[in-house]
Amino acid sequence: MAAIDDEDGAQLARPSDSRRDPEQLRLRLDAWLKHQQGPNAKVTEVTVPESNGMSSETLLVSAAWDGRDHALVVRVAPQPDSDPVFPHYDLDGQYRLIEHVRAHTDVPLPTLWWSETGSDALGAPFFVMDRVDGRVPPDVMPYNFGSWVSEATDAQRDAMMRESVRVLARIHAVPVPGSGVAAPAEGETALAAHVRRLREFYRWACADRAGSPLIERAFDWVDANLPDASETVLTWGDARIGNIIYRDFAPVAVLDWEMAAAGPRELDVAWMIFLHRFFQDLAELAGMEGLPGFLRREDVVAEYRRQTGYQPADLDFYTAYAALIHAVIMFRIQCRAIHFGQAAQPADPDEMILHRATLEAMLDGTYWGQVK
């Protein structure tokens, strides 16, 4: 997921205590790896990145077994006392989903090694995968504020857009697995189920505190404007370029599957479009040009149609729904900040939504008419 935080906010957003002693982590992982691979296996180094994620924690691990060195990534579920972003974490389900995607497509994915469902080794479940070398578009500061993406040529960014949309097209061709993604209830469309789960998440996030009138208005708008049911595919969920590792502007690893679901293709197409607009609106508010010609709605849609033969529909609805999803996530993250004393509760709960003006304009039907 994407969010903008200052340094303290980024620290706060970590799902568990990332200041745990790396040497203690190394010793515990070393003992665990020896159990997996034998007494000659060893973990030589563990690093906790400063830019750790908001939902699960990432450890960078150097290890060796069978006479070979391995650069690994360990994704660890958050501790319950860390007030996690989401109410439930199924890392083993993510692991199995990645295996499923790998078995049915050539979408670039890290090599998986193990899924540990117990908590004895690190205090929480985790899975282990290979580290992939490359570059990721940054969230903080956003990639359109001055980064390798903004410094690239138009031709390089065009190629990056085409290859990123190709990732969506390939994922959507993967059969929906029988497990690992939430299924609609009997008589419920996949989109209606998606909205229901988002509403349940929001109710959980704002339990025992004032909710957001804007979010509640947006849910009413979604209910009133829900499109007709369309084809259900496997959706990546957090389908944005910040979850892709690139090399020479081509994807070499697709990451972060915790928001995957069965649903319409437009969920992913609109999320990719909206998340760029989120960063672009921030750039323009800061008086910067940003990247107005990158990941434009019309270009993403045209490229998706070229690659799949499918014309995405109802994009005004789906981009507004993407803005609502992001609003709920940001609201939850700010609730955590308030809980840990790193932010004050605003008098207006809608101030907890950084892109409130964008969401309001989308609900009013005025947003896309003002986009350059």
Catalytic residues: 238
Surface-to-core class of residue 122, CB atoms within 10 Å of its CB (0-12 exposed, 13-18 middle, 19+ buried): buried
* CA–CA distances in Å: residue 326 to residues 218, 332, 358: 12, 10, 11
What's the CA gap between 71 and 74, in Å, rounded? 10
What's the CA gap between 234 and 352, in Å, rounded? 31
Report residue 214 as tokens.
């804007």
- Give the H or E element holding residue 327: helix 315-339
Walk across the sheet containing 126-130 and list its strands.
42-47, 57-65, 68-76, 126-130, 112-116
- Give the H or E element holding residue 126: strand 126-130
Report residue 77 as tokens.
């579920």
Tell me which residue of 184, 167, 145 sits closest to 238, measured CA to CA. Answer: 167
Report residue 179 as tokens.
């497990």
Phi, psi angle pair for 108, to nearest 5° = -70, 125
> Using the 8-state DSSP alphabet, how is residue 240 labeled?
S
What's the CA gap between 332 and 352, in Å, rounded? 9
Q: Decide: 141 and 259 in contact? Cβ < 8 Å.
A: no
Q: Decide: 163 and 249 in contact? Cβ < 8 Å.
A: yes
Q: Decide: 101 and 107 in contact? Cβ < 8 Å.
A: yes
Q: Decide: 235 and 268 in contact? Cβ < 8 Å.
A: yes
Q: What is the residue type of 321?
A: Y
Q: Decide: 367 and 280 in contact? Cβ < 8 Å.
A: no
